Every structure is written in structure tokens, then in C-alpha cells.
Amino acid sequence: MITSVRTHVLRDRNAALFLTVVVVSGFGSSAMWLAAGIWVKDLTGSDALAALTTFCLWLPVLAGPLLGAVADRFRRRPLLIAVNLATAALLVSLAAVDAADRVWILFGVLFLYGTAGTLADAAESALVAGAVDKRLLGDFNGLRMTAQEGMKLLAPLAGAALFARFGGLPVALLDALTFAVAAGLIALLRVREDAPGPRAEGSWADGARFLRRSPVLRPLVAAASATMVLSGLGGAMVFAVVDQGLGRSPAYTGVLYAVQGAGTVLTGVLAGPLLRRTPERALAAAGIALFALSAALRALPYEAAVLAGSAGIGLGLPCVLIVVFTAVQRETPDALLGRTSATVTTLVYGPMTAAIALGSALVAVTGHRAVLAATGAAGLAAAGALVSGARSTNRRTAPIT
């Protein structure tokens, strides 16, 4: 059954093209994100400046609602083509980065790169909702996550190897090429888009207002945001888990990330069938509970427990994300999809950045085991709240007999 549905998704022309775009552009982006930090470290010798590259890439997520409003004011396919081509041209400008005193150019490009990515994500989510059969959205979003995580497992190694052999510019040019190819693939989509109506001219805050009024989306987004905060706290513990917990070298973190990524790939494949058989809140709550138990498991000083915890995080965490973004695509009117999707991205991923910084401070004060245990307990509470909220809603809406 899973194989037949997956085949049906891949036979859908628009879905197959979108997934190809994810693979192509995801490979280039994953390679570039790693290479950017190595590039800055190579030019300046500064670990702090190298870490700042990730901050520049994620900072534009905080402006998600504003960028989503832009996505709602234009036809999404032409906008995506333009954004991909502009990003390709932007990456070519990195040819000017050849010394430490020009590293500011790289930071500026990374900020614009992140801005373009946030805008493209909003436009793409809205375009997918109209271009892909709604019955296939859960399967599509699962396969999309599988493709993204697959590229994250492969592309960084390729990017690091290319950088080591030829330097940073070839990695940037490879990424530029993938964006140009992605633009060409998007141009092949068969989708009819009407001109944006008057509702698309509304406020950038309309997406947040829609979320607040939606009894379906509001609890799901709140649960996803809380879970990603806990993920940020737990993620900040990974080096302490490896060093203090297992007595391993920092390079062992790569093993944990690979195991977690493998779990995410599997969940992406199973997500569509699970969504058809399980209520949304129940699936999201089950994923949060699995994530919480797995995070707590990494507090144990045993390699098998830590590996199992990493796999469980990879299996559980994507469930709530796939549920949320599929529900947004299904429940939101087209005129608000860009703003709503981008607002959800900001609410889900924005607080996670602060949580990573908080976790880095907490590990020095309390140690990683206390933080991971608290993360597990809070995650189980969030899962319970999501399930109890669903039961409360069902009782209020049950017919009187």
C-alpha cells in the first residue's frame, strides 16, 4: 500500500517536479551551508565568525510574515523562478571573496540567501497546495522531508570535499547552478494561477490572525513551536552528550546526526499512510512523545541508549512538522497561504534559535543530563496537552442525543 501510494505521488507530474526541485536545490544549499562556515574559518581563523554564518542564514526567518505577504501579492510560479535566478546570480558575486577583509561580502550574501529562502518557502508552500492533489499532500510533504534529509546526509560531505580541493567559490558556483536548474524545473509546472485578488493586498499580520481563529491550526502550531524549542534545548546538549556522557571525540556527533537523519528519512516515507490512518493531533502527539522519550534517553551514559535516542528523535520530531504544514496547506485559503505558511515557519523555527543559545548556557550550569531529563518531561506534557485538547474539543462539538 505504501509503495503504491508513493508511486502515485511520483506519477503526479507536478509533485514529481517539486520533489526534483527539492533534491536539486537541497543538495546545493546543504553543501553551501557547511562550506560557508569552513570558508569564514579558513579566511579569518575565527570560530565565532564561522558560527555567525548559520545565524545570518536563519535570521530572516523572523521576518517570515512580511516575506509571506510578498509571496501572496504575486503569482507564485513566476515569483519562484525569479527568486531562484536572483539567488543564483547572488552566489556568483562570491567570486569577490578572496581575503579576510572581504568576508563581510559573504555575510551579506548569506543574509540575502536566507531572505530568498524564506520567501521561496512561503511561495512554494502556497503553490504546492494548488498544484498537487490535496489527497496527496501528506504523502508529498513526507517524501519532501525524506528528500531534504537525504540531501543533508550526502551534500555536506560533498561540499566539504569540494572546498578542501578547490576552495569556497566552486561550492558557491555549484549551488548557483542548482538554483538555475530549479528555476527551469519550476517553469515546467502545469498550474493555473489567477491574479492575486483584493484579499492578497491585506496586512502582513492576516496570516497570524487566521491562525489565531483556526481551531484546527492553532493547537497544532503551538505544539510544534513548543516541540522545536525543546529540540533546540536538546540539540545544544549534543557535544556534552558525546564528550561528558560517552567519552567520545567531537567527531562522533556526526554519527548521531547520521542516525537521526536516517530516522527522519524513514518517517518521511511513512508519513502519508500514517496521516490517512491516524487523526492529526494523535499523530503529532505520538511524534512529540517519541521525541521526548528519546531526548531523555540520550541522558544515559550508554552508547546504545544514545544511538537509540538519536534514532527516536529522527523518527518522532518530523511527525509534528509534517502534520502542521500539511494542515496549513489544506485549511488556509489560497489568498492567505503565503502569509500563513511563513508565519507558521517563524513561530515554529524562530524560538528554536533562542532555545539553542539558552541550552548552551544551561549545559554549563546544570549539566546535560538535567536539561535532557527536563526536556523529556516537558515534551510528554506537551503531547498530553495536545491530546487532551482534542478530547475537550470533541466533547464540546459532540451532538446531543
Tell me, yes or no, whether 271 and 337 share the same domain: yes
Please check whether residues 235 and 378 belong to one and the same domain: yes
Dihedrals phi, psi of 367, to nearest 5 degrees: 90, 160
Residue with cell 528554536: 352
Angle at 274 between CA 270 and CA 278, to 5 degrees: 165
Q: Cell digits for 296?
A: 531523555
Same domain, 46 and 73: yes
Which residues form the domain of 55? 9-189
Evaluate whether residue 401 is within a structural domain. Answer: no
Domain count across the chain: 2
Among candidate residues 162, 189, 216, the one where a domain is terminated: 189
Four-CA torsion 373, 378, 379, 380, nearest 10 degrees: 90
Domain assignment present for residue 248? The answer is yes
Residues 19 and 46 reside in one and the same domain: yes
Q: Which three cell numbers stand for residue 70?
A: 510578498
pLDDT digits (tens, 9 = 90+) for 261-280: 889 889 988 888 888 888 99
d(CA 270, CA 3): 10
Gap between the Cα atoms of 6 and 273, Å rounded: 9
Domain co-membership, 32 together with 178: yes
Whether residues 125 and 230 fall in one domain: no
CA distance 329 to 331: 6
User: What confidence score (pLDDT) does residue 292 get?
Assistant: 96
Phi-psi region of 133 (alpha: psi -120 to 50; beta: other; left: phi over 0): beta
Q: Report the distance separating Cα 289 and Cα 287, nearest Å.
A: 5
Residue 17 shares a structural domain with residue 148: yes
Q: Tell me which residues of the chain have a pLDDT lower than 50.
A: 1, 395-401
CB atoms within 10 A of CB 70: 18
**Is-contact 31 174, C-beta < 8 A?**
yes
- Say whether both 148 and 261 belong to one domain: no
Domain boundary residue among 145, 162, 189? 189
CB atoms within 10 A of CB 79: 24
Task: Count Cβ atoms below 10 Å from residue 392 Cβ, excluding itself.
Answer: 10
The reported pLDDT for the residue numbered 313 is: 95
Q: Are residues 285 and 376 in the same domain?
A: yes
Q: Is residue 13 part of a domain?
A: yes
241 falls within a domain: yes
User: Could you tell me if residue 199 is inside a domain?
Assistant: no
Q: Which three cell numbers stand for residue 369?
A: 543530563
Q: How far apart, in whole angstroms, are the C-alpha atoms of residue 114 and residue 106? A: 12
182 and 228 part of one domain: no
Q: What is the spatial distance between Cα 239 and Cα 362, in angstroms, rounded to a whole number?
A: 13
Q: Are residues 14 and 154 in the same domain?
A: yes
Residue 326 lies in a domain: yes
Q: Helix or strand or coil: residue 202?
A: coil
Residue 89 lies in a domain: yes
Name the grid cell of 35. Answer: 562550506
Boundary residue ending a domain (161, 189, 217): 189
- Assign residue 178 the CATH number of its domain: 1.20.1250.20
Q: Is residue 220 part of a domain?
A: yes
Contacting residues for 251 by C-beta, under 8 A, at least 6 apart: none
Same domain? 124 vs 233 = no
